[in-house]
Amino acid sequence: AQSVSQHNHHVILSEAASLELGCNYSYGGTVNLFWYVQYPGQHLQLLLKYFSGDPLVKGIKGFEAEFIKSKFSFNLRKPSVQWSDTAEYFCAVSPWGAGNNRKLIWGLGTSLAVNP
């Protein structure tokens, strides 16, 4: 079955620390890849996406992610986190192909707490 695995469930960092959140998926075909973020009290919003082209994609607020096809990974990174980055981060994959209907398959999320 198709699945998305986020390796870190809870991450606590101090401001200015670097961040890397792991995401791996199980699907051998073409995929669209997403990171969504949910700030406290707010709804889910798109952080960045990969559809095709340059495997290093940049999103809002200084986040970036790298698609490594051979590793089935799409890890999220930020060189220096801020207190305002405290949120829940979700990786999602949209497999292409018959019957997939552009559904998103979601990881369980990573809760990031940044201490000031």
Which residues make up the interface to another protein (CB under 8 A)? 4, 32, 34, 36, 42-46, 49, 51, 90, 92, 94, 101-109
| Cβ nearer to another protein, comparing 73 with 94 | 94
Asked if residue 64 lies in contact with residue 48, where contact means CB atoms within 8 angstroms, the answer is: yes
The SS3 of residue 103 is coil
Nearest approach in angstroms of CB 108 to another protein is 4
Nearest approach in angstroms of CB 63 to another protein is 16
Phi, psi of 39 (to 5 degrees): -75, 155
Nearest approach in angstroms of CB 91 to another protein is 9
Counting Cβ atoms within 10 Å, is residue 60 exposed (0-12), middle (13-18) or buried (19+)?
exposed
| Cβ nearer to another protein, comparing 41 with 116 | 41
Nearest approach in angstroms of CB 35 to another protein is 12
| Cβ nearer to another protein, comparing 26 with 82 | 26
How would DSSP label each residue in 14-47?
A: ETT--EEE-EEEE-SS-EEEEEEEE-TTS--EEE
One-letter amino acid at 88 equals: E
| Cβ nearer to another protein, comparing 40 with 116 | 40
